[in-house]
């Protein structure tokens, strides 16, 4: 069953998204490292989505899958998915979300959604 | 996937809602006991981002958990569990939190006149831990619990 989180991107959005995602990941049966990956990836989404969301509001739908947690971030502008991945970059580490999870960008409602999957098969290096 | 609670038309709620405008954060999830952990984590994240004292975060979590537990126990008593929505509104140094469901609603017999199988401590606890407590029926069924918390110097970053 999915959980839906709406936040204003920024410090509060990042903190709330990170906590909620970590809890959902633990409930999905992910290991400790993947739980922390979920927290970091969701915190990055919630913190940095301001430049990518269409109306200043991030909607994050979190859904447990088999051994994984799937997060869908929307509604994003055209190009917003890639922009959000770039904006999550940490100096010296590069794009954080792509290092932690498998990602893809889907067309959705005239814009885009960024899908981030934690767990399951390992992300591409 | 549980059907989300639909936003009601502004005309149905604007005059009665304690706060106007968009929430700072809204979490919508099934009204089941497992969801309380997720709600509590959301509040921890919110409290930390607002630089609240740990004791204040603890009070928030207890009060909101009570409201959510009531929702899980009573809102969908005679039917499959539906959605529960927890919305947080940060307005300066005031935090409003609303717990909303789409269940059977609140009547006099469900508010302390023998309709509850619990100890009857939930509402007094919510009232004691918050600065203001409002209960009301939703415009299209269900219940709404609104709690106001003064943040004592903390606030939106």
Which of residues 17 through 46 in chain B touch A, CB cutoff 8 A?
Answer: 22-30, 34-35, 37-38, 41-42, 44-46
User: In DSSP terms, which residues pair with A74 in a beta bridge?
Assistant: A59
Distance (Å, rounded) from C-alpha B59 to C-alpha B124? 13
HEC secondary structure over A10-41: CHHHHHHHHHHHHHHHHHCCCCHHHHHHHHHH
The pLDDT of residue B134 is above 90: yes
A88 vs B109, higher pLDDT: A88
pTM > 0.95: no
* Contact assignment for A6 to B23 by CB distance below 8 Å: yes
User: Which pLDDT does position B11 carry in this prediction?
Assistant: 41
Distance (Å, rounded) from C-alpha A41 to C-alpha A24? 13
Gap from A10 CA to chain B (nearest CA, Å): 9
Distance (Å, rounded) from C-alpha A11 to C-alpha A43? 9
Q: A42 in contact with B at a CB cutoff of 8 Å?
A: no
Q: Which residues of A71-90 are buried (b: 16+ CB within 10 A; e: fewer)?
A: bbbbbbbeebbbbbbebbbe
User: Which pLDDT does position B56 carry in this prediction?
Assistant: 95
pLDDT in tens, B58-102: 999 999 999 999 999 989 988 899 999 999 999 999 999 999 999
The pLDDT of residue B2 is above 50: no
pLDDT in tens, A74-121: 999 999 999 999 999 888 888 899 999 999 999 998 899 999 999 976
ipTM summary value: 0.91
- DSSP secondary structure of B124-143: HHHHHHSSEEEEEE-BTBSE
Distance (Å, rounded) from C-alpha B10 to C-alpha B8? 6
User: Which pLDDT does position B10 carry in this prediction?
Assistant: 40
CB nearest to B30's CB, from A1, A17, A22: A1
Q: What is the DSSP letter of B42?
A: H
Give the other-Cβ count within 10 Å of B115's Cβ: 13
pLDDT in tens, B5-47: 554 444 444 446 788 899 999 999 999 999 999 999 999 999 9
Contact residues, chain B, for A13 at CB < 8 Å:
25
Mean pLDDT score of chain A: 93
């Amino acid at each position: 069953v999915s959980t839906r989180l709406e936040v204003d991107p920024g410090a509060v959005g990042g903190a709330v998204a990170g906590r909620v995602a970590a809890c959902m990941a633990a409930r999905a049966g992910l290991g400790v490292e993947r739980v922390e990956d979920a927290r970091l990836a969701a915190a990055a989404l919630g913190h940095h989505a301001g430049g990518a969301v269409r109306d200043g509001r991030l909607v994050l739908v979190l859904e447990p899958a088999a051994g994984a947690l799937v997060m869908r971030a929307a509604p994003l502008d055209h190009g917003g998915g890639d922009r959000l991945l770039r904006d999550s970059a940490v100096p010296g580490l590069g794009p954080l979300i792509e290092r932690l999870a498998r990602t893809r960008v889907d067309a959705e409602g005239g814009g885009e959604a960024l899908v981030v999957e934690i767990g399951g098969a390992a992300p591409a290096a | 996937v549980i059907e989300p609670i639909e936003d009601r038309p502004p005309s149905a709620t604007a005059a009665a809602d304690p706060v106007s405008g968009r929430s700072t954060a809204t979490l919508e999830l099934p009204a089941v006991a497992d969801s309380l952990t997720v709600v509590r984590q959301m509040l921890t994240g919110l409290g930390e981002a607002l630089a609240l004292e740990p004791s204040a975060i603890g009070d928030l979590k207890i009060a909101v958990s009570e409201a959510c537990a009531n929702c899980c126990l009573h809102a969908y008593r005679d039917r499959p569990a539906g959605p529960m929505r927890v919305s947080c509104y940060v307005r300066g140094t005031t935090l409003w939190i609303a717990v909303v469901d789409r269940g059977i609603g609140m009547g006099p017999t469900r508010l302390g006149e023998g309709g509850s199988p619990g100890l009857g401590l939930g509402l007094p606890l919510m009232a004691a831990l918050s600065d203001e407590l409002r209960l009301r029926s939703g415009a299209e069924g269900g219940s709404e619990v609104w709690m106001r918390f003064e943040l004592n110097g903390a606030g939106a970053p």
